[in-house]
Amino acid sequence: MKQRSHSPELPDAVAGRDASEAGAAGGSRTIAPDSPAAIAQAYLILGDLIIPLSAARETVIGRDNAVCDVVLADPHVSKSHAVIYSRGERYFIEDLGSLNGVLVNDARVDGAQPLSCRDRILVPPYLLEFAGRTHARISRMMQSRAELSATPAAGHFAGQLHILNVTDLIQLLNATRQSGILTIVDEERDSAMLAIHRGEILQAQYRGLRGAEAVYALLARTEGQFEFIHGAPPIPSRPMQIPTLTLLLEGCRIMDENADRHRDTRRHSGFETLPPPGTILAAATHFPTPHPLPEPATSPATCPPA
């Protein structure tokens, strides 16, 4: 990845000094715990996906798989849409001249925008959250990572999907560059198998699906159990060529799209107005009186006397 040179032409307040202290030797302000400077390790959260940010290099967000670190496959996203980078312990985001812009907490980004924990970043139509290690999901991920690191190389790592979901599990194996076989049994007792080499998925099988389609279907499972057995996996004749992070991003996008489609279907069919299952419906005790029939325009003719 070509490194961009981030010039020092940031406002004094962004650079860590108040405007009144500009030019004063060594003048610096106190950094509050939630300020951009207090974040030693940062992450982006996109749906079920947790994306670690590197303090040593920039992270480019966009649609072009060849140049972007975080690929968002949507026509509304520019090829190189935005960049996040670190200065010391501070993280900033810049718009790279995108068509639809970048918003942080509903405000359009113009220049170097500092980021704080829990900031909402909109790269239309994707909503991301900027977070540190204290975020609940990231804390759980770090705990699972410690447990995995403590697992002997010849051992196994197992758990429940309602504690560590499929997306977080695959990310964990990817971030720690694990090699082995991941087996998942869902709530319907259907099994999935993923061959993983140094954190990258070589092959996946689930419910008659193979490759990327199997991974996408598996990401939607929220109940079941998993087991990861360390070791060198068998190398398939045609291994998957899609990077694992790209697979997860696309899988999360498909899940969001399916959820939106399901909501639209329910709304258009009127299902959202129905009471929830199990609701006891009371019978009506009063019925409205029907409107009387209109009188005929003329009196009916009488038969002439015989």
d(CA 68, CA 2): 10
* pLDDT surpasses 80 at 68: yes
Phi, psi torsion values for 36, nearest 5 degrees: -55, -30
How far, in whole angstroms, is CA 185 from its chain's centroid?
Answer: 23
Three-point CA angle 268, 272, 273, nearest 5°: 105
Percentage of the chain beyond pLDDT 90 is 38
Q: Which amino acid is at 160?
A: Q
Average pLDDT, the chain: 77
Cβ burial, residue 243 (10 Å; 0-12/13-18/19+): middle
d(CA 233, CA 198): 10
User: What single DSSP character describes residue 116?
Assistant: -
pLDDT digits (tens, 9 = 90+) for 242-285: 889 888 888 888 887 877 676 666 666 655 555 555 555 555 45
pTM above 0.95, yes or no: no
